[in-house]
A = this chain, B = another copy of it.
């Protein structure tokens, strides 16, 4: 691929247009995307769906969804936090986090324990199996998923993309 040097150098790389059949016969010609091609929200949604789909496939050996992977990552980086803290940090509502945790805990990947200081809280921790699974998942994500993505865009562009998306989520 023609890897560009800077973020702003990325070109639309228009897929070579297929010529509309010269014969006046073809009933099913290509539809015009029109101004949809310029809609950032539309591109964002389509890219997100594709990336999640590829993530799922890449990480299939450990059977983790993007959401589950994000929970394990956060538990690893923040051992000893409670459900509310982990859930809200991920933008997950507390009621919806219960079933998610049930699934992870029933697979032996993490553990709930009542906090001695505040017996209302459930302290969350990865189990050894959870850490092992996370490590394996990280490797799959890096080698199967992100490597290909970085290859597609180029390293610099890939980092620029991540930075812009984070900025949108944070400041828009």
Contacts and interface: CB of A to CB of B under 8 A. Distances in A.
Contacts of A41: 48, 51-52, 55, 66
A1 interface: yes
A144 interface: no
A167 B46 CA distance: 10
A149 B31 contact: no
A108 to B, nearest CB: 21
Contacts of A39: 69-70, 73, 141
Interface string A68-107: 0110011011100100011001010000000000000000
Interface string A145-162: 010110011011111111
Given A54-B172, A77-B34, A166 B8 contact: no
B45 A66 contact: yes
Contact of A166 (B12, B31, B164): B12
Nearest to A34: B77
A19 interface: no
A57 to B, nearest CB: 11
A38 B162 contact: yes
Given A73-B34, A78-B31, A43 B162 contact: yes
Interface in A36-69: 36-52, 54-55, 66, 69
